[in-house]
Chains A and B, each alone.
Chain A
Amino acid sequence: MSHSHKLVIKRSSMSRPPPPPPPTTNKDQQHQNPSFQEINIKLIQSGEKERLKELLRERLLECGWIDEMKALCRAFTRKKGRNNVTVDDLVHVISPKGRASVPNSVKAELLQRIRAFLASTAD
Chain B
Amino acid sequence: MSSKINGHVSPQPCPHLLVFRSRNGPKPFRALQDCIRVKPPGGRAAIRREPTEVPRCGTCEESSRSRLYACVACAAVFCHAPLLHSHASDHSLSIPGHEIAVDVDRAELFCCACGDQVYDRDFDAAVVLAQTVNATATTSTSGSTAMQCSVAGSQPENLRKRRRVDYRPWEPDSGEHISRGNQSIPLLDAANASLVSSTQQPWGLRGLNNLGNTCFMNSILQALLHTPPLRNYFLGDRHNRYYCQQKNGAINGTKNSRLCLACDMDALFSAVFSGDRTPYSPAKFLYSWWQHAANLASYEQQDAHEFFISMLEGIHEKVEKDKRKFQSPAGSGDCCIAHRVFSGILRSDVMCMVCGFTSTTYDPCVDISLDLEPNQGGSGKSSSAKSLNSFNVEADCMRPNQNCGISTLKGCLERFTRAEKLGSDQKLFCQKCQVRQESLKQMSIRKLPLVSCFHVKRFEHSSIRKMSRKVDRYLQFPFSLDMAPYLSSSILRSRFGNRIFPFDGDEQDASNDLSTEFELFAVVTHSGRLDAGHYVTYLRLSNQWYKCDDAWITQVNESIVRAAQGYMMFYVQKVLYYKESENQGTS
Q: When chains A and B are docked, how far (Å) is the Cα of A47 from the Cα of B66?
A: 16
Which positions 8-51 of chain A face chain B at CB distance < 8 Å?
A: 9-12, 14, 17-18, 20-21, 23-25, 36-37, 40-41, 44-45, 47, 50-51
Q: Is the CB of B85 within 8 A of A9?
A: yes
Q: Are B60 and A18 in contact (CB under 8 A)?
A: yes
In the assembled complex, the Cα of A123 lies from the Cα of B117 at a distance in Å of 42
- Please, how many angstroms separate the alpha-carbon atoms of A77 and B75 in the complex? 32
Q: Is the CB of A17 within 8 A of B40?
A: no
CB-CB under 8 A for A25 and B64, given A47-B40, A83-B1:
yes
B82 A92 Cβ-Cβ under 8 A:
yes
B48-93: which residues lie under 8 A (CB-CB) from chain A? 52, 54, 59-67, 81-85, 87, 90
CB distance from B56 to the nearest CB of A (A): 9
Interface presence of B116 (CB below 8 A) = yes
- Residues in B neighbouring A4, C-beta threshold 8 A: 83-84
A58 contacts which chain B residues (CB < 8 A)?
Answer: 162
> A87, B116: Cβ atoms under 8 Å?
yes
Whether B64 contacts A24 by the Cβ 8 Å rule is yes
Are the CB atoms of B84 and A1 closer together than 8 Å?
yes
A3→B83 contact, CB < 8 A: yes
Which one of B1, B44, B60, B114 contacts A20 once the chains associate, using CB atoms below 8 Å?
A: B60
Set B1, B61, B90, B116: member contacting A11, Cβ < 8 A: B90
- Once the chains are docked, how many angstroms separate the CA of A37 from the CA of B52? 16
Contacts of A24 in B (CB 8 A): 64-66, 81
The distance in angstroms between the C-alpha atoms of A44 and B67, with both chains bound, is 15
Q: Say yes or no: B1 contacts A12, CB within 8 Å.
A: no
| B174 part of interface (Cβ distance < 8 Å) | no
State the total of A-B contacts with C-beta under 8 angstroms.
Answer: 83
How many whole Å from A121's CB to the nearest CB in chain B?
A: 16
Q: Is the interface of B mostly helix, strand, loop or mixed?
A: loop
Min CB gap B82→A, angstroms: 5
Which residues of B lie under 8 Å from residue A57 when comparing CB positions? Answer: 42
Interface contact A54-B60, CB-CB below 8 Å: no
Give which listed residue, B64, B81, B84, B87, contacts A37 with CB less than 8 A.
Answer: B64
Most buried by A among B59, B64, B114: B64
Given contacts A21-B85, A37-B64, A45-B52, contact A50 B42 (CB under 8 A): yes
**Which B residue's beta carbon lies closest to that of A25?**
B64
Q: Across the interface, which residues of B come within 8 angstroms of A36, CB to CB?
A: 64
- B273 within 8 Å of A (CB atoms): no
Which one of A23, A45, A87, A91 has the highest number of Cβ atoms from chain B below 10 Å of its Cβ?
A87
Residue contact A87 to B84, C-beta cutoff 8 Å:
no
- Say yes or no: A51-B65 contact (C-beta < 8 A), given A18-B60, A44-B54: no
Known A47-B40, A54-B42, A87-B117; judge A23-B60 contact (CB<8 A).
Answer: no
Docked pose: A47 CA to B40 CA in angstroms? 8
Decide if B528 is an interface residue (CB 8 Å cutoff). Answer: no
Cα of A12 to Cα of B46 in the assembled complex, Å: 28
Cβ distance B98 to chain A, nearest Cβ, rounded Å:
13
Tell whether, in the assembled complex, residue B85 and residue A10 are in contact, meaning their CB atoms are under 8 Å apart.
yes
Question: Judging by beta carbons under 8 Å apart, are A51 and B41 in contact?
Answer: yes
Contacts of B65 in A (CB 8 A): 24
- Please tell me if the beta carbons of B60 and A45 are within 8 angstroms of each other in the complex: no
Give A113 Cβ to nearest chain B Cβ, in Å: 13
Q: Determine the chain B residues whose CB is within 8 A of the CB of A47 once the complex forms.
A: 39-40
Asked if B115 is at the interface (CB within 8 A of a chain A CB), the reply is yes
What A residues does B42 contact at CB under 8 A? 50, 53-54, 57
- Rounded to whole angstroms, the CA-CA distance of A58 and B52 in the bound complex is 25
Candidates A1, A12, A83; contact of B67 at CB < 8 Å: A1
Contact A17 B60 (CB under 8 A): yes
Contact A2/B1 with A21-B60, A37-B63 known, Cβ cut-off 8 Å:
no
Whether B234 sits at the interface, judged by CB under 8 Å, is: no
A residues near B61, Cβ cutoff 8 Å: 17, 20
Tell me the B136-192 residues at the A interface (CB within 8 Å). Answer: 162
Q: Mark B1-30, 1 if CB is under 8 A from A, else 0.
A: 100000000000000000000000000000
In contact, B1 and A88 (Cβ under 8 angstroms): no
Instruction: For the complex, give the distance between the alpha carbons of A23 and B63 in Å.
Output: 10
Residues of A near B82 (CB, < 8 A) are 88, 91-92
When C-beta atoms are compared, the residue in chain A nearest to B12 turns out to be A83
CB pair B59–A12 under 8 Å, yes or no, is yes
Q: State A88–B81 Cα separation when bound (angstroms).
A: 9
A36–B263 Cα gap in the complex (Å)? 67
Q: Which residues of chain B have C-beta atoms less than 8 A from A109's C-beta? A: none
The CA-CA distance from A116 to B63 in the complex, in Å, is 22
Contact of A1 (CB < 8 Å), options: B44, B66, B115, B162: B66
B303 to chain A, nearest CB (A): 58
On chain A, the residues within 8 Å of B1 by CB distance are: 82-83
Please tell me if B94 contacts chain A, counting CB pairs below 8 Å. Answer: yes
0 or 1 for each of B97-130: is its CB under 8 Å from A? (1 = yes): 0000000000000100011110000000000000
The smallest C-beta distance from A31 to any residue of chain B, in angstroms, reads 9
- When C-beta atoms are compared, the residue in chain A nearest to B84 turns out to be A4
> Nearest B residue to A23 by beta-carbon distance?
B64
| B477 → chain A closest CB, angstroms | 54
Which single residue of chain A is at the shortest CB-CB distance from B117? A87
B363 to chain A, nearest CB (A): 47
B114 cross-chain contacts in A, Cβ below 8 A: 86
Cross-chain pairs A/B with CB under 8 angstroms, 23 sampled:
A1-B67, A4-B83, A12-B90, A18-B60, A21-B81, A24-B65, A24-B66, A25-B64, A37-B62, A37-B63, A41-B54, A41-B63, A44-B54, A47-B39, A50-B40, A54-B41, A57-B42, A82-B1, A83-B1, A87-B115, A88-B82, A91-B67, A92-B82
A residues bordering B, Cβ < 8 Å? 1-4, 9-12, 14, 17-18, 20-21, 23-25, 36-37, 40-41, 44-45, 47, 50-51, 53-54, 57-58, 82-83, 86-89, 91-92
7 closest Cβ pairs, A-B complex: A86-B116, A88-B115, A83-B1, A54-B42, A40-B64, A86-B115, A88-B82
Given contacts A3-B84, A37-B62, A91-B82, 10 further A-B contacts (CB under 8 A): A21-B81, A24-B81, A40-B63, A47-B39, A47-B40, A50-B39, A53-B42, A54-B41, A87-B116, A92-B83
Chain B residues close to A by CB (< 8 Å): 1, 39-42, 44, 52, 54, 59-67, 81-85, 87, 90, 94, 110, 114-117, 162
